[in-house]
Amino acid sequence: MMLFDPKPKSRRSDLFDREEEINELKNSVLKTPLTLLLGIRRVGKTSVLKVSLNELNAPYVYLDLRMLEEEGYSRVAFYRLLSEALTNTVSKWSNLVDYLRSIKGVGVYGVKVEFDWREKSLTLTRVLNKLNQFGEREAEKGFVVVAFDEAQILRNISGGKGKADFKSILAYAYDNLPNLRFVLTGSEVGLLLNTLRLDVPSSPLYGRYVRVVRLERFNREKSLEFLKRGFEEANMLVSDDVLQKVYERVDGIVGWLTYFGCLIIESHKPITEAVDEVTERALKLVQKEVDEVFRRSRHYMHVLKAISLGISTWSGIKRAVEAWLGRPLQNAQITRLLKTLVELSIVEKKNDYYVIADPLIAEYSRRL
């Protein structure tokens, strides 16, 4: 079940397509201090990142910031995540141990890296300085890659007493640590860009050149080829009509194509029945994700329902939401609701029209 394996891929041979994006990302890391890898959720960013990191053959530190959603966004939780990431790095590049040991508050036991949270002088900047020294003196390519997956989460641990200001840290590293390369991925694209504030003169990162690599969903042809090859790997012959039906449900979002393929294979039911069953299971996942937004305000539910029903203009959405609420809303409220949904990459704005990015979110919203 290679293509339909739900885990992120780490080898190019296990990945379908994405040759252009992998090469673009690798080329950017070789030349640019800071690269953004952007795309909506489930479009394959983590797989492209991991394949690229492995093929660069340079030391890297990979942090999946989604782990902080469970552990909280404290300084302690972040440094625990960093220590685990560095442990993985040390297991492959053992020479890094000597550099880390020289940092007060860092202990290395075998290949396990641990931080002493009570040591006030222990900062991310000190760790980055040592990684920079290691990249200069030990790395064959002359640099170390630091990758933050789902980097918009950094906004939750930016600024404030006892927390790191990541914009300033990235700006410092950009200017002073030439042997580091940073890659930041983001599914909530607007939030990530707002976190970095690259175009805001008061931001520490203002004026720095940043390369952006974007991942788009597969087109119809690639989606059908992906599904066909995935089922062939499982020795299943699936009709073109069924492949088309799956594509229409998820519209080229590779994470959903993989999810559908994997569960259809495991269901042992007639294909058409299995597709419908997997759709309902997928909608339950969508419900969990979207309900997080609804908890902020029930108005989001009405906005998404309006868009899912084909009401795509600002004025039309406002009229629909007001009709369901039975009272008027200020223009600024509707604008703010739509802006947040766009920042979360749940809604896309195309010219003056709004559409829901994920067909399954659209289907869930229609049922509200």
Measured between alpha carbons, how far is 322 from 299 in angstroms, rounded to an integer? 10
Q: Which residues pair with 61 in a beta bridge?
A: 146
Tokens 């300033």, residue located: 168
Separation of alpha carbons 172 and 161, rounded Å = 19
| Strands (DSSP E) found in 223-275 | none
Q: What is the model's pLDDT at position 160? A: 46
Instruction: Extract the tokens encoding 199.
Output: 């175009």
| pLDDT of 197 | 93
Report helix, strand and coil shares of the chain as percent, to nearest 5. 55, 10, 30
Phi and psi for 224 in degrees, rounded to 5? -65, -35
Give me the DSSP letters along 55-108. Answer: HHTS-EEEEEGGGHHHH-SSHHHHHHHHHHHHHHHHHH-TTHHHHHHTSTTEEE
Q: Under a CB-based contact definition with an 8 Å cutoff, are residues 44 and 12 in contact?
A: no
How many C-beta atoms lie closer than 10 Å to residue 209's C-beta? 10
What's the distance, CA 222 to chain centroid? 22
Name the β-bridge partners of 183: 35, 147
Q: For the chain, which domains are there?
A: 18-214 (3.40.50.300), 220-289 (1.10.8.60), 296-366 (1.10.10.10)
- Whether 24 and 214 have beta carbons less than 8 Å apart is answered as no
Spell out, as residue ranges, where the chain has pLDDT lower than 70. 1, 158-164
Coil, strand or helix at 53: helix
> Per DSSP, which regions of the chain are E strands?
34-38, 60-64, 106-109, 112-115, 144-149, 180-186, 211-214, 347-350, 353-356
> Cβ-count burial of 229 within 10 angstroms (0-12 exposed, 13-18 middle, 19+ buried)?
middle
Beta-carbon count within 10 A of 342 CB: 18
- Bridge-based pairing state of the strands 211-214 and 34-38: parallel
Beta-strand pair 34-38/180-186 = parallel
DSSP states of 249-263 as a string? HHTT-HHHHHHHHHH
10 Å CB burial of residue 337 (0-12, 13-18, 19+) is buried
Question: What predicted TM-score, i.e. pTM, was given to this entire model?
Answer: 0.93
Q: How far apart are CA 199 and CA 263, in angstroms?
A: 43
